[in-house]
Structure 1
Amino acid sequence: MKTKLHTLLLLLFFTIGHANAQWELQLNLNMYAGAGRIHFVNETHGWTTGGLIEGAYECLYTTNGGKNWYLLPGATSGIDVFFVSQDIGFLSTWDGIIRKTVNGGQTWRDIQTPTNKLIYNLQFVDEYNGWAQVYGGEILHTDDCGENWTVQVVSDSITPTHVSVHFLNSNTGWAKVSAQGDSKRSVWKTDNGGSEWDSIFSWPEGCYIDKIYFVNEQNGWALGRLSPSDSIFLSQTVDGGYTWNEKKLPFPDYKYEVREKLRDIQFINDTLGWIICNRTIYDDFDNIEGIESYVFVTKDGGSIWFLQFYNYSYDGYNPATDSYHYLSPFLDICMVSTKKGWIAAENYIYTTNNGDSIIGIPQKEHFNNKLNVYPNPFKDWISIQLPQYEKPTKVTISSIDGKILLHEDFPSDNTLNLNFLSKGVYFLTVYLNNNHSLIDKIIKL
């Protein structure tokens, strides 16, 4: 049966070529509940968890950058995966066991942790020091390459119900803690590897933080949602977590009911980073019509984010292609360089060789169905027309390689003098007061 599944995976593999595509479909599992978490240690060796194959959650691995994927032997029921090298890796499970391999995943050894609950968000900062989160609020730590795990307590005075931890090195780390009986979500910091923690900030009631992530000792991010609106909440700190400010993403406007969720964030250096998120679209009867998934990229440390990639998925049969489609929200991103990376979706794996580019932003009809730019192509001036009920606040002109050429208040007369631009293709972004934006491609003659 394993041989048949190996063959099946190879047959299911295909790529889509596109001259200006940042992200390309690399693997289609063609079944519900595909890849969940994904981790690469370099441009060739990677692993992914969560593929539901013949009733069991399997893990896959590749040694050629995802051109071919194979079943990982003995790695069923994996929740999260993290490798510190091509040989040494770890797999978390549903029942408190962390599996360890020293040969790239060909064989595994079970290590019992102090819990019997689901373990997720594995993270190692070197070969020896690692952390993991436990469903229910515990933090696990190892300092001997995963051979032994202990529970770290943020504070004896609180009972955590959910945590999110992120470490930069073996000493410095942060934790977002939701505690029983406390409606606030607090940030804690440690400078000694988690032995002691200090409370440094609390978000107000109604902010639900799912993930905390730090780029360096000053710049950090929090991903979550707001209640009761159920809209996304993105917050940044530039002083190590002591103060936080809400940030906005340039979502295309949408005329139907949507519910948004930020899924993951990663920076490859102090300035270049990515965020993946999903929008679930509902009809008038609160049924799911589809899911829009987005990749946003920043080149200046998060001051400005660009829409880099868009994907739409739905659940149903397509007679035009004689195939069945599944809802496939983006779940996890792994970048190994400024160019190369992968995204794990519910049923697919995407890859990019141009991760620092914004060339070829996909345009969909509702992206700019309210934005009328003329003349386009233009020579010097353009006029931007919007419906009266839309309230624009800012306007940005960017080159196809992501460089900001103009960023200012939206003009009161709706016109822009762009005679300083050279001939070529540019992106126009109009920011609205409802935290959304409209994007269009313009051409200078």
Structure 2
Amino acid sequence: MTPPAVPVGDLLRTHAPQVLGALVRRYGHFDQAEDAVQEALLAAARQWPEAGVPDNPRGWLIRVASRRLVDLLRAEESRRRREETAARLDPGDAFTAPPPGEGRAPAEADTLTLLFLCCHPDLAPAAQVALTLRAVGGLTTAEIARAHLVPEATMAQRISRAKRRIAGTPFRPPGPGDRDERLAAVLQVLYLIFNEGYTATSGARLHRADLAREAIRLTRAVRALLPREGAVTGLLALMLLTEARSPARTGPHGELIPLDEQDRGRWLRGMIDEGTALVEEALSEGPAGPYQLQAAVAALHDEAPSAGETDWPQILALYDVLVARFPEPMARLGRAVALAMVDGPRAGLAEVDRLAPELRGHHRLDAVRAHLLERAGDRAAAAEAYRSAAAGTLSTPEARYLRMRAARLST
């Protein structure tokens, strides 16, 4: 036993997905395995601060969790076949971790396999996000429920249904045929988690730093396992470059401050430098995908000394490539803003009108239209669009900001 070199909580969060992956790979029974891992983590949280961290903390957790899992299986399974299975699973005291020379995946690969399992295509996106935060992120059900503004019982049911849905799924990485598709699902889930943290879709807070940080941490873990994947590198760069602005996004009373009015001296330069270096690396790792291109746009915003010095022609060129390859409505909406900054607000408004059938009723479409109408000098129409956008968002800070803009134009 040695004194902890890092906080015990951080150490446990690092090892938790590896331990869960090891148990699921060896025993199956995802639901019971997670319960056993949680009990092992609680035991470690009680013992390690006083007794010291074991020399092999992951092995200690696997051994304790394995014993608890066997107890759970024996207690729950009454039929003879399952009793015999549980009896065969009894781990010896010497078991510390799957030896690397026995054809088993290393602990780090277990984390990635667990992510693939949590993002299984049979699960709805909301269930993928919740299960990923629970099993890989190590958040409690109560923490996940608070982040999504739902009752804890509701979130517990969602997670339980997700576990049942994937029960029996072999614990192994996806095959070559669907590996890229499954990785794309993992990255989409991580991006959803980040976006909910950076700009909460509902509630009184604009920024949920815990979710944003967790998304960045998990994406770092994936990149450590797949360092040459341009999409992974690009997503991490995009998160860092975006999160770097968070200290300047809100005022002293939690009010929203738009990008062009932010105090750029409050942006996190270390995070920007890291993100910019990652963008260059990501763009060198094969054809640029949506995360790499969006990260390049974010880098141009973050590198501009002021809003007036932003390289909008280059941003528009990047959006042209993004929309040509991935014509998603939100990407096209971003291009409309860039076009307005290069060719004038009326050009941007024409693009917004073309998007109306796809994004009708979405508050971001109304907010962009209001901004461009204000730049074009149509104050009355801009105020009406701001009010429409405010009515369409569930975020209290966003609604307050949009109503304030409408009121200023109506005065």
TM-score, structure 2 as length reference: 0.27
Comparing both structures, which one devotes a greater share of its residues to helix?
2
Question: Which structure: larger Rg?
Answer: 2
TM-score, structure 1 as length reference: 0.25
Comparing both structures, which one devotes a greater share of its residues to strand?
1
